[in-house]
């Protein structure tokens, strides 16, 4: 078990098995020394931990919780692709979508749940460029969907 996996274990976080995609895509794609992840949602044990729109059914704190769980799932994808999360040299870019009402404008605060967690796990290597975009719907009524691009050793 790598250093990052040990750190996650001490944080009480267990990475789950990456589920088989529900459509025609792969969970991650390696191009040179970059890994692109497909969009992930906030499932735990096969079920969304939260459903709905920010600004209607959910508040910022719940959105941050969902965003953190999305990153936990992305880390599982990266571990499957790389064998060990220690192979991550740095997180480069995050593209995040927030299922929001038309009036909700706090998407960056929701996605801080994901960004803060990456810095907690990887330290300075977890700091990244980012876009936090509001959208009127997301698959399966997930509140957050995130993609990452990481540089690997």
Cα–Cα distance between 18 and 7 in angstroms, integer?
20
| pLDDT of 53 over the 90 cut | yes
Reading phi first (left if > 0) and then psi (alpha if -120 to 50, else beta), residue 48 is in beta
Please state the pTM of the whole predicted model: 0.97
Q: Given pLDDT bands bounded at 50, 70 and 90, which one contains residue 1?
A: confident
| pLDDT of 4 over the 90 cut | yes
| pLDDT of 144 over the 90 cut | yes
**pLDDT given at position 22:** 83
Task: Give me the residue label for tokens 């300075």.
Answer: 124
CB 63 within 8 A of CB 115: no
């Amino acid at each position: 078990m790598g250093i990052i996996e040990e750190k996650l274990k001490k944080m009480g976080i267990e990475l789950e098995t990456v589920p088989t995609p529900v459509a025609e895509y792969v969970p991650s794609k390696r191009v040179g020394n970059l890994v692109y992840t497909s969009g992930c949602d906030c499932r735990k044990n096969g079920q969304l931990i939260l459903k709905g729109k920010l600004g209607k059914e959910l508040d910022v704190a719940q959105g941050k919780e969902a965003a953190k769980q999305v990153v936990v799932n992305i880390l599982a994808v990266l571990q499957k692709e790389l064998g060990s999360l220690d192979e991550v040299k740095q997180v480069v870019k995050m593209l995040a979508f927030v299922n929001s009402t038309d009036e909700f404008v706090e998407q960056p605060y929701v996605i801080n749940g994901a960004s803060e967690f990456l810095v907690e796990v990887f330290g300075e290597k977890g700091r990244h460029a980012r876009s936090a975009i509001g959208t009127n719907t997301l698959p399966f009524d997930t509140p957050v969907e995130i993609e990452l691009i990481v540089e690997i050793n």
